[in-house]
Amino acid sequence: MNSLNKYFPISKKISIDKFISNALYDKNYGYYSKKIPFGKNGDFITSPEISSLFSEMIALWIVAFWEHLERPKIFNVVELGPGNGQMCSTLVKIFKKFPAFFNSTNIFLYEKSKVLENLQKKNLHPFKINWIKKFEKIKKGPVIFLGNEFFDAIPIKQFKKINNILYEKYLKLENNSKITTIFKKADSKTIIELKKYNLLKEQHFIEFPKQGLAELNLIVNTIKKLNGGLLLIDYGFLKQQSKNTLQSVKNHKRNMIFNHVGNADITSLVNFNLLDNYLRKKKLEVNNVVTQEFFLKKIGIINRAEMVSKKMNFKEKSDLYLRLQRLLNPKQMGELFKVISAFKFKKKFSLGFI
């Protein structure tokens, strides 16, 4: 079969979000079904692998949240899209330092890719961890959802406004080898949805994370049912700019998105303003979005770095601070990466946000 045929239906026409779904998550040919993308020898590197300080601070933030909830006897931590399990492994190591917390807590991982689920099982053995496909499996106790680079990996829809008429982006496979872009008039249900989130105002190119919001809806419903909250970290923007933000990454380099279909990651920038708007409409308590630099500094990453570096030699110390710099420097990940949190609990939990 021609290599691109695998990602298109028989009609050879497909909306951009369905195409990205196939390119990333097709059970046989999808990028996340074939390859381990993380690390130096992979295609990209994420914060938990840059420095364990990142996950350590998040672990401490979670323990503080549990304290804020007045130490519930049953508590649930759900990591969304845990990748190679690196963050979870560090979380467990820190959680163990707080026995009352550790003994009250169930850890769940929510992963779509079978290949990555198997890798997580290998890397996290013998920790007591549950893999879930449905949040209904969590029956009792408050829950905190946690996701690093979860949303950017969920396919988005794209639209164009011409003479005040909205068109949705579709792709067409020509001669079984060439992908071209076509636009179809958007249906009225979609237009109403985009208007609801104020996405059409002063914009001629619009991105909409329909699948992402469907996931968020499941998360919010679980928080509302069980009490708790969410913490999401990702790269993205606060002000929509009428821009196409889709990008493909292979071997740590950016590519045109059709260049290595099935063999490269495809991501988009997360619209944090939309997430904020969505969560407020769902009547959760939302902290204002902050940058990764702000959040990590506020929860004490510099102090922790000073503490752990005391016993290090010069080479180890330089390595630690170089990695920290990568997480915090506004020119690197400090500003592009943003953090949002939302809660059902009435007593607001603002640690890291003010």
State which residue has the least CB distance to ligand SAM: 81
Please report whether residue 32 would count as binding ligand SAM according to CB under 6 A: yes
- Going by C-alpha positions, the residue among 285, 265, 318, 268 that lies closest to residue 155 is 268
48 vs 334 by CB, closer to ligand SAM: 48
Question: In the bound complex, what is the minimum distance in angstroms from residue 5's beta carbon to ligand SAM?
Answer: 24
Contact between 231 and 113 (Cβ < 8 Å) = no
Rounded Cα distance between 236 and 245, Å, is: 9
- In degrees and rounded to multiples of 5, residue 259 shows phi and psi of -75, -40
Element (H, E) at 311: none
Shortest reach from residue 161's CB to ligand SAM, in Å = 28
Considering only residues 214 through 273, tell me which ones interact with ligand SAM, judged by CB under 6 A.
Answer: 215
Total binding residues toward ligand SAM, as defined by CB under 6 A: 19
Cα angle: 218, vertex 159, 254; to 5 degrees:
85
**Site membership for ligand SAM, residue 116 (CB under 6 A):** yes
- Nearest to ligand SAM of 35, 344 (CB atom): 35
Question: How far apart are alpha carbons 131 and 109 in whole angstroms?
Answer: 5
Among the listed residues 154, 123, 133, 129, the one whose alpha carbon sits nearest the alpha carbon of residue 39: 123
Among 17, 43, 149, 293, binds ligand SAM (CB under 6 A): 149
Instruction: Identify whether the C-beta of residue 23 lies closer than 8 Å to the C-beta of residue 3.
Output: no
For residues 268 and 154, give the distance between their C-alpha atoms in angstroms, rounded to a whole number: 8
**DSSP H or E run through 146:** strand 143-148
| Residue of 17, 43, 56, 111 that binds ligand SAM (CB under 6 A) | 111
Residue 341 within binding range of ligand SAM, rule CB under 6 A: no
Q: How far apart are CA 29 and CA 20, in angstroms?
A: 12
Q: Which is nearer to ligand SAM, 90 or 158 (CB)?
A: 90
- Tell whether residue 46 is a contact of ligand SAM (CB under 6 A): yes
Q: To the nearest whole angstrom, how small is the minimum distance from the Cβ of residue 109 to ligand SAM?
A: 9
Residue 50 or residue 200: which is nearer to ligand SAM going by CB?
Answer: 50
Among 14, 77, 119, 153, binds ligand SAM (CB under 6 A): 153
Residue 17 contacts ligand SAM per CB under 6 A: no
- CA dist 130 and 135 (Å) reads 11
Give residues in contact with ligand SAM (CB under 6 A).
32, 38, 46, 48, 81-83, 87, 110-113, 116, 148-150, 153-154, 215
